[in-house]
A and B are shown apart, each in its own frame.
Chain A
Amino acid sequence: MSTLWARIEPLLARVQKPARYIGCEDGAITPRHDKLDGGDVVAWLLAYPDTYEIGLPNQGLQILYEILNERDDALAERTYAPWADLDHEMRAAGVPLFSVDTHRAAGEFDVLAFNLSSELVFTNVLNMIDLAGAPVRSAERDADDLFVLVGGHAAFNPEPLADFIDAAVLGEGEEVVSEITEVLRAWKAAGRSDRESVLRELSKIPGVYVPAMYEVTYEGEHIAAVQPRYPDVPATVDKRTVADLGEWPYPKHPLVPLTEVVHDRLSVEVFRGCTRGCRFCQAGMITRPVRERPAEQVRTMIREGLRSTGYDEVSLTSLSTADFSDIEPVVRGILDDAKEIPGACDTMTINLPSLRVDAFTVGLAGEVNNGRRSGLTFAPEGGSWRLRKVINKLITEEDLYGAVESAFSQGWTRMKLYFLTGLPTETDEDTLGIAELAKNCVAIGKRYTNRASVTVSLGGFVPKPHTPFQWFGQNTDEELRRKINMVREATRRMNGVNVKWHDPAATTAEGITSRGDRRIGRVIERVWREGGLFQEWGEHFDLDRWAAAMEAEGLSLDWYVFRHRDEHEILPWAHLTAGLHHDFLWGDWLDALAESGVEDCRWTPCYDCGVCTGYGIEHVVASPIAPAGGSQGTGQDLSHGGDVPVTLLPTRREPAGAST
């Protein structure tokens, strides 16, 4: 292997933000490429198919980067999507996709592994495979070409990418990357015979899905069957889950970028999984069960991390950080530790993303912000209690107003409220409820400050695979636009209420790939060839390109995006599972339509969703009782914490019909 730096350097003088491409981060590992000379080392190029600013902070990629580099038989470097200007320069100069660590050509690695956190980056994946110099279609790659792998949340339905990837990894990567390394190492040692044999070996690793090992047959537009092509290929691929997060204290050496990135701070993951059961939330469904990191380990990782990185800000990440059992002692511990770092206690900020909507949480946020009151975000998601029961986000109006009152009284002046629009059973009354909530929040704020303002942020709902809403027909972009306009109209004269919204056209495009099947691959390829890159960036997105590609391939938006599915339809990801039983998901869908909520199962009896029982794992929580404060999103009075026993809301009523 040799570096391309001398050829890259002149190009960087011609592009915006060249620091994106230089690497040099603190924590970056310069892999010992001499390991390669010794023998059968598997070289991974870990790729994030979006800009460096978005991709660098990604924790999954940083974790695998360290785990692979710790192995004697593997090395890993990183790459990110080059922005359009560099892409153009690279193609003109014949410079291939390169790693940012040692600036080596992608083609010198064995594996190009993408982290997929959303569907709109799929065209970037194709572009990066092409820039790497490999054929974009996996069937055209031979023994000397890269293996293209994908993982991450959006890999739970990899079917739209089936023609382009060699394998998808379902679930958590900590263990499986080593198993993949061992298979590839043995294959290289045996002289890199045909690709088919190694793909077949890979397909036997639990959690690894090799699309080429499965035959999909159709009956008209519908999928008739998905069948393994060999008897030793599993009929269903299960996700991977690490049982104990405490055994994986990664990243140990967090990457500190030299240029500004989206989350420019230390991140420490406090738990994985979420059992609040929000029905629209794919992350909550596919990452079960809850596994907390031991509080002492959290504190150590933060203390060491701050010392080694020089950051003065730390983010405790998870899907709902206030749910962490030991959140209060951990926060106090971090603040105590900061006193020992010169200068740090003056500026030290603890970030608690994904806050719950309750007063306890706001109190916590007040303690950790070092007097700063920049803005606070809550996510009620639905505009009425009825709709919040449908989506199982059981926040009462009292919870929200209590949280908002608590925030304004502690000095915050700006609040952001996140809502989804286009949810199942949503009526205009629900939509107008958003404006009403915002108005009441501002009214509460005005009692404390004249500057009180609330920003309503509206996102269009895209039904996701492996959730109870996977059968729901997405709202059209026209319908979403109508609802957004309704909220804008209703809030026009409301002093202090601002409305922001996500482009409904992008929501439709996301819908194409979210629940797409293998036939959508041709659409993705067409959009890419027409120049559709960075589709999650407003300035590059154009729905017409997607609509035209769908039409050219004879596929219908209506069928793929806006149509309701029924219980017996074979969904494109039916042979892939996050452990959730089909019956559980369908039952939960019926409960949703019946406006019936379910409790958080970490503190209440099991509903047998299938994950813990199926995989022989369980929740790892330090406290078996719910922490104090608000209703905890359960719709009940839990202000005294564990004193009030949690009871189940009635479930499983007769279903009402699905309606939009």
Chain B
Amino acid sequence: MKLRVRATKIGKVRFTSHRDAARMWERALRRAGLPVAFTEGFTPRPKISFGLALPTGAESIAEYVDIELQREIAAADVDLDTLPARLSDALPTGFDVLVAAEREPGVDSLQEAVTSCTWELWSPLLTAADHLDACRLLEPAELVLERERKGKRSADDVRPMILDLRPDPSGDRLVADLVTIGRALRPGELAELAYPHIDARDVRALRTHQWLDHDGMRHEVLALPADVDARTQWVLA
């Protein structure tokens, strides 16, 4: 059977990289004793895959991991209710599995399926007025960002990548919905545009949702059950 889990990456561990996190998951699955399937060949690897990479330094309460179990394991053999706690115990502090579900056959991979993410941005150097100002990035029809990737400089119109900007209810954070298809706008790049008067490296970012599109509506990849409050997790940070 195949599993999909939603997890956090919060606190000091935000400074680990996406690759680091992948290795942690491999070790955690062995420690939890989960019978993971392996690739064929000379150097077998566990069949697990990760969604969109989280930038080093950013936090999240919406990280997804797909795990394929060995063929002979049936859905009835896995207790999905206790699995989050079992995996959280095997993961480092700051990585908590919030919910686990069976992944139906034929469902798209995380990379293919996710069309947008919701982020929260904040900094002790920013005020509620700064966040309100930042929302004005929605006004122009075009928003050119000069950026460099893999040694190539380019000037891109990133306005289409921003679906929405709004302050959170407290006013202390900016909530941003960003498109993930094509060359995405990173939260760090948004911070450069939104807060030109401070160093973007002082802006913290938290991914709160990853979204799928179905029939013109967006849906959470895995919604949190009513009894799981991810906010309590990030207060710890």
Chain A residues within 8 Å of B, Cβ to Cβ: 5, 10, 12-14, 18-19, 21-26, 256, 258-260, 264, 307-312, 341-344, 346-347, 371-372
Contacts and interface: CB of A to CB of B under 8 A. Distances in A.
- Tell me what chain A mostly uses at the interface: helix, strand, loop, or mixed: loop
Interface string B87-123: 0001011100000000000000000000000000000
Interface stretch (B28-36, B178-186, B214-222): B28-36
Contact of A371 (B17, B42, B46, B57): B42
Contacts of B46: 343, 347
Nearest to B200: A13
B76 to A, nearest CB: 18
Given A18-B15, A343-B30, 14 more contacts: A5-B12, A14-B201, A24-B12, A24-B92, A24-B94, A25-B92, A258-B13, A258-B92, A260-B19, A342-B30, A342-B33, A342-B36, A343-B29, A347-B38
Interface in B14-58: 15-17, 19-20, 23-24, 26-31, 33-36, 38, 42-46, 56-57
Contacts of A346: 38, 44
Contacts of A307: 31
B38 A343 contact: yes
Contact of B43 (A12, A23, A372): A372
Interface in B48-100: 56-57, 90, 92-94
Given A22-B15, A258-B13, A343 B35 contact: yes
Q: In the A-B complex, list the 5 residue pairs whose CB atoms are closest, starting with the nearest.
A: A310-B27, A18-B15, A310-B31, A22-B12, A13-B201
Given A13-B201, A343-B35, A260 B12 contact: no
Nearest to A340: B33
Contacts of B27: 256, 309-311
B24 A258 contact: yes
B9 to A, nearest CB: 11
A260 B23 contact: yes
Contacts of B42: 371-372
A154 to B, nearest CB: 31
B92 A342 contact: no
Given A258-B16, A310-B26, A341-B33, A24 B90 contact: no
11 contacts: A10-B201, A13-B201, A14-B201, A24-B92, A26-B92, A259-B17, A311-B30, A341-B33, A343-B36, A347-B44, A347-B46
A258 B30 contact: no
Nearest to A310: B27
A346 B35 CA distance: 11
B93 to A, nearest CB: 6
B189 interface: no
A312 B34 CA distance: 14
Contacts of B38: 343, 346-347
A334 to B, nearest CB: 15
Nearest to B15: A18
B30 A12 contact: no
A304 B109 CA distance: 36
Given A22-B13, A259-B16, A343-B30, A310 B90 contact: yes
Nearest to A100: B12
Contacts of B36: 342-343
B202 interface: yes
Contacts of B13: 22, 24, 258
Contact of A10 (B17, B26, B90, B202): B202
B159 to A, nearest CB: 27
Given A12-B15, A346-B38, A18 B201 contact: no
B208 to A, nearest CB: 20
A21 B56 CA distance: 14
A18 B35 contact: no
A599 B63 CA distance: 60
A110 B4 CA distance: 48
A5 B15 CA distance: 13
Nearest to A349: B43
B31 A18 contact: no
A342 B17 contact: no
Contacts of A25: 92
Contacts of B30: 310-312, 341-344
Contacts of B24: 258
A23 to B, nearest CB: 7
Nearest to B25: A310
Contact of A18 (B26, B29, B57, B92): B57
A22 B12 CA distance: 6
Contacts of B28: 310
Nearest to B26: A310
A13 B57 contact: yes
A310 B33 CA distance: 9
Nearest to B202: A10
B139 to A, nearest CB: 29
A371 B57 CA distance: 38
Nearest to A259: B20
Contacts of B31: 307-310
Contacts of B23: 260, 264
Nearest to B56: A18
Nearest to A308: B31
B202 A13 contact: yes
Nearest to A309: B27
Contact of A342 (B34, B93, B201): B34
Contact of B15 (A21, A260, A264, A344): A21
Contacts of A344: 30
Given A310-B27, A312-B30, A341-B30, A24 B93 contact: yes
Contacts of B26: 310
B20 to A, nearest CB: 5
Contacts of B92: 24-26, 258
A521 B29 CA distance: 50
Which of A13, A307, A309: most chain B CB closer than 10 A? A13
Nearest to A257: B20
A23 B11 CA distance: 12
Contacts of B93: 24
Contact of A19 (B20, B35, B44): B20
B16 A19 contact: yes
A18 B46 CA distance: 27
Contacts of B29: 310, 343
